[in-house]
Structure 1
C-alpha cells in the first residue's frame, strides 16, 4: 500500500499549472525569475503526492540555512554560493503554494509553518550575512546594518498583515449593509470594493490614456503588480544581488530606501481609504435602509 502511494500519477501540463497556480498579479521578481522555473519543477513533483507543501517548505528551509552557512564564512566565493542557494530556497518556497493549489493539499497549519519558517530563515540568513562581514572587517557598521535589515523585513510583513486586517474590517462593515438582491437590469455600475482609495479608472480613451494608466495596464497584462518593490524584492536584493555583486552594504541601503518609499505610499493610500470610509459606510447604510423600505409593503 505504501509503495503504491508513491507511484507517480499522470503529469499535468505547464499550461494547466499556469492557469491553476499562478496568481493574477505577483511581484516582478517572482513573475520573471521564479515562476518559469518553479512551474517546471512543480510539473515534475506534482504527481508524487507524498511531496506535500509542508515537505517543500522544509526543503526550502534547508536550502536557506545552507545559504546562511555560506554567508557566515564571509568569503567571496561563499557569498556567491549563498546568493544562489537563497534563490533556490525561494523557488522551492514558491513551489509549496503552487502544489497546494494544484493538488488541493494545503492546510491552515501549512500556512502557519510556511510563514514562521520564512521569517526564521530570513533572520538567521541576515545574522549570518552581516555577522560574517563583521567578523571579516571588525566594522561595527555591519551590525547596525543587520539590525536595520531585520527590522525592515519584519516591518514589511507586520505592516502588510495589519493593513490587510484594517481593509478587511472596512469591507466587512460595508458588506453588512448589502442585501443579497439580484442586480437590476438598468444598473451596470460597479460599486467597487469597500476601502478603495478611489474609483476604478475609466477605460482608456482611443488616445491611450495617461502614461501612468498605460504603464499600469502593461504591468497587469504581464501579471506584474504595480507595487514594484515589496518584501520579496527587498529580500532578493539584500540576500542575492548584494552578495553576488559584492556590494552588500550599498545594495542593502538602496533596497531599504526603496522598500520604505513604497511602504510610505501604501500607508498614504490606506490613510485615504480610512478617510473615505465613513462616507462609504454612511452611503451603504442609507442604501440598505432604502432597500428595506422598498421591501416592506406600503400600508393602504
Structure 2
C-alpha cells in the first residue's frame, strides 16, 4: 500500500510538472524601461507559472520586436529555456517605445527619438487588442528637446487616455571622440588622441570632424568621452608676425616657392598679408600649415 502511494504521488508530480503553466499578458506593449521586476508586474495580467519563470519569460519578451503569434513565442521560449508555457492572447506586439516613435516621427533615416522620460511608473504603455495608439508631436520636424503626447484610443468604450513624454530628437553622425582624458596643456592635438565613433547630437554642424586639421588646434577645456565640438577648440598660431615663413604659389602647371615675412600672426585658414623677402612687395596668402602660406593671386 505504501509503495502504491509513493508511485501515485510520483506520477502526479510528473504530470503536474510537465503540464504547461499559463501567462496572460497585454496584447500591445511599448517599453520605456528594461527593469524586469517592474515590467513583470505591468505586462503580466495573470500567471500560473513560478515567479522565476515569469521573470525569465519577461527577459525573453523584451528582446522581441514587432507583432508575433503567441504560439510562436511559446515555441521559441521553450527552445531557449526548456519550459512549456502557454501564452495569451493569440497575437502580441512588443516595441521599445524609442524605436517605435523614431519610426513614426523621424523625417530622415538618421534622426532618432532618444532619452525618453515619463511620469508613468509602470515602465511600459500597455494596450488591449481593441485599443490603438496615436502620437502627437507638433514640433518634431527639427531636432532638439521635445514634448510628445501618446493617445490611447478605445473605440469600444469611446474613451481616450493620454501619456505625456519628454525626449530628444537627435541626429546620428560620425564624430571624433577622445580615447582618454585630454587636459588643457596648450599643446596641439593629434589623430592618435581620438577615435571615430557614431554619436547622437542636436546639430551635426557643431561637430569637429577634420582629423587632418587636429594638429592646428588645442583644447580650451578638459575632454573625456564626448564628441569633439568646435567650441572645445582654440586655433593655434601657425605663423607669427615678423618671423619669415615659406610661401607657395600654385597656378596651373606652375609651382613656385619662396620666403616672406608675415605682417601679423595667423591661424589655420586665416588670410594674412606678408612682405616678400625678395622684392619687398606686399602679398596676400592663406595659412595652410606651420610656417606655410599659400599665395592667392
- TM-score category (smaller protein): under 0.3
Bigger relative contact order (CA 8 A; separation at least 6) = 1
Structure 1 or 2, whichever has the larger Rg, is 2
TM-score normalised per structure 1 = 0.21
Higher helix share: 1
Higher strand share: 2
TM-score normalised per structure 2 = 0.22
